[in-house]
Structure 1
Amino acid sequence: MKYLIALLGLLVVFAMTYAASNNRSGIRYRPLIVMVVLQAVLAFVLLNTGAGEFLVGGFAGVFEHLLSYAAEGINFVFGGIANEGQGPFFLNVLLPIVFISALIGILQYVKVLPFIIKYIGLALSKINGMGQLESYNAVASAILGQSEVFISVKKQMGLLPKHRLYTLCASAMSTVSMSIVGAYMQMIEPKYVVTALVLNLFGGFIIASILNPYTVTAAEDLLEVQEEEKQSFFEMLGEYILDGFKVAIVVGAMLIGFVALIALVNGIFQGIFGITFQHMLGYLFAPFAFVMGVPWAEAVAAGSIMATKMVSNEFVAMLDLGKTEGLSARTTGIVSVFLVSFANFSSIGIIAGAVKGLHEKQGNVVARFGLRLLYGATMVSVLSAVIAGLYL
């Protein structure tokens, strides 16, 4: 039965994406089929094999050690603030981002990350049939972050036509940055985080190739990555540490605001209609949860969490997932994969602002197709959840 539902889910995703395509005659189906098959194979390996369990365990183990090292610095500064045995969210989940950001800065400085990003991007461009720039950007987004990635290609930002700019922004919204992966792993199972990271990478290309198909000529396909201004090691380290702290503060502030506002709206709806706003949205998203593979009895609860992610952010939704009782392991896994992306309304402003900071005209272009960007990124999340549901 789950295979029939997965097939239905794929048909729904592709039909909804095809309906919104701006160039249906330009869709190239062979790369799409190859990437969907790759997604299915990779999901099987990660979720259903010993090799996958080893890889996920190794990845999670690395982050577990990194978080323990981060805790040393956090305890030195904030030790004694938390009551014994308690783990405040800001201290335990958000502040480790500072340490992970510092490590990313070091790997950037010694040229390890640029090498990895460039050559994985080149390999991906052979599979997805898109340009080297798009492939580089997708990998770089998953490591550097949805705002920072545009700095590395700022020389080309003003030269990009609208359709290529859309693909770059879609990649940034469909993936998540490596600096906050550790935070996710403390809220949901690491295997779902790793699976979503891999599936979203290909899913971004699949959905963009349907929504926004185009071909790139050899003359257009130039990848010129902006070198960061030469800094001393400690200048660089200080910059990345501060950047990580800013991310932690921004996420914390957004959580305070969104959780409080959702509580307010829920209170109003509860008083007037006898149902919370999130529960109402759950009914709207329940059909999508069902085609992702969630049992119908749990579809409204799952749909409520999915809606929360879209109207607020993935952290708020992950907190809700952890508090929701009665969900089966299958539903928890499918929803977890769906949540690992930046596909929400606030990301439209973040991405448009990042591009506008580098090129004002292009930033305005991004703002105009912002809702289309969110639509595509949400389809990527649904597609990843459908594929993962085959093996849960």
Structure 2
Amino acid sequence: MLQLQSALGLVMLVFLAWGFSENRRRLAWREVAGGIVLQVALAFILLKMPGARLVFAWLNQAVQALSAATEAGTGFVFGYLGGGDPPFQVRPGASTYILAFRGLPLVLVMSALSALLYHWGIIPRVVRALAWMLKRATGISGVEALGTAANIFVGMVEAPVLVRPYLERVSRSELFTIMAAGMATIAGTVMVLYASILEPVIPGVMGHLLVASIISAPAAVTVSKLMVPPVEEGVEGSLALEREARSAMDAVTQGTLAGLSLLLNIIAMLIVFVALVHLANMILGWVPSWGGEPWTVQRLLGLIMAPVTWLMGVPWSEAHTAGSLMGVKTILNEFLAYLQMAALPADALSPRSRLILTYALCGFANMGSLGIMIGGLGAMAPARRPEIVELGVRSIVAGTLATCMTGAVIGLLV
């Protein structure tokens, strides 16, 4: 019954995306149907193929190795704050784990490693293969296929850089597809960080996060073509990717500096967002309670997003808790949502619901990301800045619907 619920939810989410369309009379059948078929097919192949569990186990071991390597560096620089041996006896039940000094520096290592893999041509080959697959399955242009596929591995600003020469000339529909893909996926630099947080509660989580980012790309194509259907011919472009670093050491240096900026951004946003939520909860505390429970931001978001999580296949008894996490992800960011999910009691969500939410939360669709996207894309295509701003909020809706479709597809298969 839960799988039928997910199937119904997938259909309803597609119709919901069509309901947000700029032109409901025009429907890009090829792109929409191809995106849905490709998403379901990729999910089935990646999750059900022989050896999938073994691959997931290897990926988790890689995460553990990267975490251990990062801790060696943080322990050397920050001492016991970064994971080194404490110069005192730790009391039972206490912990010396400090997120800013032990967990978040993983972003630095992943950023440098990603830049190195890009310089060696490994990431470009994978991106080109995925772009070719998207183009063949959905019929989208080479420019939007490349921009969409790149979002699987890099951020929402870095991915459009790969198609920067075409941004001034792409159609409105192509531009929106690239924006929606940025909102529906996450970058590899934070993927490993999220995996390190969720690993204790979700076995093989690194593999699941990677699959989530891959299959959300065709979902973004589906939703974007429903919301902003094409009305003109797309711009064709080369699928070649250029390397900017001059050497491996230059790549590591550039990746580290980019990771430092990202690390500081994450720390600042976490401090501000947690403070704002706490402040909002203090204000809501003056509102009379309902049902014997006080009003909080999490409770409000849970009520709003509960029907959406039910559509993905989460039982109604768990929908409020799941909806709260989806709300935190949309209003604040996915990092806070993953932190809260990892801290939930074991009986708050079933393993199936946790897995569905792992996929549904795996996207950058939130208000903070919107500012980053508008700033980055606006600088690359100044003449299109008003249009980018106009499509900004719609891209959050598109990214959220795409990841919800991904959650529904996983509900179909588990």
Q: Structure 1 length normalisation: TM-score?
A: 0.92
* 1:279 counterpart (299, 306, 309): 299
| Partner of residue 214 from structure 1, selected from 230, 238, 245 | 230
Whole-angstrom distance in 1 between the partners of 2:171 and 2:40: 32
The answer to whether 1:331 aligns with 2:353 is yes
Q: Secondary structure at 2:151's aligned position in 1?
A: helix
User: The residue matched to 1:221 in structure 2 has which SS?
Assistant: coil
Say if 2:375 is the partner of 1:356: no
Opposite residue 224 of structure 2, the aligned amino acid is: A
1:263 is matched with which residue?
278
Is 1:296–2:311 an aligned residue pair? Answer: no
Query: SS where residue 23 of structure 1 aligns?
Result: coil
Partner of 2:337: 317
Give the secondary structure class of the aligned counterpart of 2:219.
helix
Q: Counterpart in 2 of 1:52?
A: 52
Aligned-partner Cα distance in 1 for 2:245–2:310: 51
The alignment status of 1:96 with 2:106, answered yes or no, reads yes
Q: 2:267 aligns with which of 252, 258, 275?
A: 252
Q: Does 1:74 align with 2:84?
A: no
Take 1:38 and 1:91, find their aligned partners in 2: how far apart are those partners? 40
More helix per residue: 1
Structure 2 residue runs of 5 or longer lacking an equivalent are 289-293
Segment of structure 1 superposing worse, 301-310 or 18-27: 18-27
Q: Give the drift of 1:45.
A: 4.2
Matched, 1:239 2:254: yes
C-alpha offsets along residues 348-380 of structure 1, whole Å, 9 cap, x if unaligned?
111110012222232332111111111111100
Contact kept? 1:131, 1:216, Cα under 8 Å: no
Amino acid at match of 2:169: L
Task: Give the Å deviation of 1:229.
Answer: 4.7
1:21-60 equivalent positions in 2, closer than 5 A? 21-48=21-48, 50-60=50-60
Asked if residue 14 in structure 1 is aligned to residue 14 in structure 2, the reply is: yes
C-alpha distance after superposition, 1:70-101 (max 9, x if no partner): 22222221222255653222233211111111
Identify the range of structure 1 (66-75 vs 8-17) with the bigger mean alpha-carbon deviation.
66-75
**RMSD (Å) for aligned C-alpha atoms:** 2.2
Structure 1 window deviating more from structure 2 (40-49 vs 15-24): it is 40-49
SS, match of residue 222 in structure 1 = coil
Shift of 1:254: 0.5
Number of residues paired by the alignment?
Answer: 391
SS in 2 for 1:187: helix
The equivalent of 1:87 in structure 2 is 97
Distance in 2 (CA, whole Å) between partners of 1:299 and 1:202 is 26
Q: Identity of paired residues, percent?
A: 26
Looking at structure 2, the residues matched to 387 and 34 of structure 1 have their Cα atoms a distance apart, in angstroms, of 15
Distance 1:30 1:164 in 2: 15
Using the size of structure 2 for normalisation, the TM-score is 0.88
CA distances 1:255-300 after superposition (whole Å, capped 9, x unpaired)? 1111111111112212323311210221111111111111111111
Report the Cα distance in structure 2 between the residues aligned to 1:225 and 1:353, rounded to whole angstroms.
25
TM-superposed CA distance for 1:140, in Å, is 1.1
Instruction: Determine whether 1:347 maps to 2:363.
Output: no
From 392, 397, 400, the equivalent of 1:370 is: 392
Aligned to 2:186, the other structure's residue is in SS state coil
- Of stretches 82-91 and 371-380 in structure 1, the one that deviates more from structure 2 is 82-91
CA contact (8 A) 1:306 1:339 kept: yes
Q: Counterpart of 1:186 in 2: which secondary structure?
A: helix
Residues 352 and 367 of structure 1 are in contact (CA less than 8 Å); yes or no, is this contact kept in structure 2? Answer: yes
Q: Aligned pair 1:305/2:321, yes or no? A: no
In the TM superposition, residue 46 of structure 1 has moved relative to its aligned partner by: 4.1
Give, as a single letter, the amino acid of the residue that structure 2 aligns with 1:203.
A
* Residue identity matched to 1:284: I
Q: Give the conservation status (yes or no) of the 8 Å contact 1:46–1:56.
A: no
1:47, distance to aligned residue in structure 2 (A): 4.1
Query: Which deviates further from its counterpart, 69-78 or 174-183?
Result: 69-78
Cα separation, 2, equivalents of 1:353 and 1:31: 28
How many angstroms does 1:31 deviate by?
4.6
* 8 Å Cα contact 2:360/2:403 also seen in 1: yes
Q: Shift of residue 56 of structure 1? A: 1.9
| Structure 1 stretch displaced more, 184-193 or 373-382 | 184-193
Q: Aligned residue for 1:135?
A: 145
- 2:374 and 2:240 map into 1 onto residues whose CA distance is 20
Following TM superposition, the consecutive aligned residue runs of length 4 or more in structure 1 with deviations greater than 6 angstroms are none
Residues 1:355 and 1:38: Cα distance change in structure 2 (over 3 Å) = closer
Whichever residue aligns with residue 98 of structure 1, its letter is: L
AA matched with 2:12: V
Any gaps of 5 or more consecutive residues in structure 1? none
